Amino acid sequence: MAKKQLFSLSVNGEEVDVASPSDATLLETLREDLRVLSPKRGCNQGVCGACTVLVDGVPVRSCLTLTALCEGHDIGTVDGMGEDPILATLQKHMVEKGGVQCGFCTGGMLMSARNLLAETPRPSRDTVKSALSGNICRCTGYRTIVDAVCGAAEELAQ
Amino acid sequence: MTQILQPETLDEALAVLAAEDEAMPMSGGATLVAMKNARLVEPTHLVSLDRIAGLRGIATLPDGRIRIGAMTRHFETASSALLTGSLSVLRQAAGKIANRVVRNMGTMGGSVANADPAADYLPALACCDAVLTIARAGGERELSILDYVEDWYETALEEGEVITAFTLPAPEESPSAYRKIARVTGDFATASCAMALTADGQGIRVAIGACGPGPLRDPEAEQALIGKLDDPDAVTALAERLVAMADPIDDVRGTADYRLALIPRLVRQGLDDLKKDLR
Binary contact (A3, B185; C-beta < 8 A): no
Ramachandran sector of residue A46 (left: φ over 0; alpha: ψ -120 to 50; beta: rest)? left
Is B214 within a domain?
yes
Spatial distance between the Cα atoms of B156 and B113, rounded to a whole number of angstroms: 10
CB A22 within 8 A of CB B1: yes
Is B64 within a domain?
no
B279 pLDDT band, cuts 50/70/90, is low
CB atoms within 10 A of CB A139: 13
CATH architecture of the domain with range A4-80: Roll (3.10)
Spatial distance between the Cα atoms of A149 and A125, rounded to a whole number of angstroms: 9
Same topology for domains A4-80 and A85-157, yes or no? no
CB atoms within 10 A of CB B18: 15
Is B94 within a domain?
no
pLDDT at B184: 87
CB B22 within 8 A of CB B102: no
Expressed in percent and rounded to 5, the helix, strand and coil fractions of chain B are: 35, 25, 40
pLDDT in tens, A75-125: 999 998 888 999 999 999 999 999 999 999 999 999 999 999 999 989 999
- The domain that contains B14 carries what CATH number? 3.30.43.10
Q: How many CB pairs under 8 A join A and B?
A: 86
Contacts of B81 (CB under 8 A, 6+ apart): none
Binary contact (B101, A133; C-beta < 8 A): no
Alpha helices for chain A (secondary structure H): 26-28, 85-97, 106-119, 125-131, 142-157
Q: DSSP per residue over B76-115, as a string? A: HHHT-TT--GGGHHHHHHHHTSS-HHHHHH-BHHHHHHHT
pLDDT in tens, B108-152: 999 999 999 999 999 999 999 999 999 999 999 999 999 999 999
Q: Give chain B positions within 8 Å (CB) of A66.
A: 4, 29, 33, 46, 48
A130: phi then psi, degrees, rounded to nearest 5: -65, -40
Q: State how far residue A64 is from chain B, nearest Cα, in angstroms.
A: 5
Spatial distance between the Cα atoms of A82 and A91, rounded to a whole number of angstroms: 10
CB A114 within 8 A of CB A90: yes
Is B272 within a domain?
yes
Is B257 within a domain?
yes
pLDDT in tens, A18-74: 999 999 999 999 999 999 999 999 999 999 999 999 999 899 999 999 999 999 999
pLDDT at B185: 84
ipTM exceeds 0.85, yes or no:
yes
Q: Give chain A positions within 8 Å (CB) of B96.
A: none
**Domain-terminating residue out of B13, B31, B49:** B49
Contacts of B31 (CB under 8 A, 6+ apart): B106, B110, B111, B114, B116
Query: Which of A5, A27, A41, A64 to mutate to test binding with chain B, by most B CBs within 10 Å of its CB?
Result: A64
pLDDT in tens, B69-122: 999 999 999 999 999 999 999 999 999 999 999 999 999 999 999 999 999 999
Is residue A1 over pLDDT 60? no
Q: What is the dihedral of CA B156, B195, B193, B167, to 10 degrees?
A: 30
Instruction: Residue B20: give the domain boundaries.
Output: 1-49
| DSSP-derived secondary structure letter, B15 | H
- The domain that contains B251 carries what CATH number? 3.30.390.50
Q: State how far residue A141 is from chain B, nearest Cα, in angstroms.
A: 17
Task: List, in sequence order, every residue forming a beta bridge with A21; answer none if it has no partner.
Answer: A4
Whether the CB of B42 is below 8 Å from some CB of chain A: the reply is: no
In chain B, what is the straight-line distance between the N-terminal and C-terminal CA atoms, in Å? 59
In chain A, what is the straight-line distance between the N-terminal and C-terminal CA atoms, in Å? 54
What domain count does chain B have? 2
pLDDT in tens, B44-74: 999 999 999 999 999 999 999 999 999 999 9
Query: Which of A47, A48, A63, A66 to mutate to test binding with chain B, by most B CBs within 10 Å of its CB?
Result: A66
Cross-chain CB nearest to B37 (options A2, A45, A131): A45
CB B177 within 8 A of CB B266: no
B187: phi then psi, degrees, rounded to nearest 5: -75, 165
Is B73 within a domain?
no
Residue B264: its H or E element: helix B256-278
CB A28 within 8 A of CB A20: yes
Query: Which of B101, B105, B180 to mutate to test binding with chain A, by most A CBs within 10 Å of its CB?
Result: B101
pLDDT, average across residues B158-167: 97
Provide CATH code, domain A85-157.
Answer: 1.10.150.120
Q: What percent of chain B has pLDDT over 70?
A: 100
A25 to chain B: nearest residue by CA? B33
| pTM > 0.80 | yes
* Residues found in chain B: 279
pLDDT at A2: 67
Domain map of chain A by residue range?
Answer: 4-80, 85-157
Cα dihedral B95, B98, B102, B108 sign: negative
pLDDT at A102: 96
pLDDT in tens, B168-222: 999 999 999 999 999 988 899 999 999 999 999 999 999 999 999 999 999 999 9
Spatial distance between the Cα atoms of A67 and B139, rounded to a whole number of angstroms: 32
Binary contact (B98, A134; C-beta < 8 A): yes
Q: State how far residue B31 is from chain A, nearest Cα, in angstroms.
A: 8
pLDDT, average across residues B7-16: 97
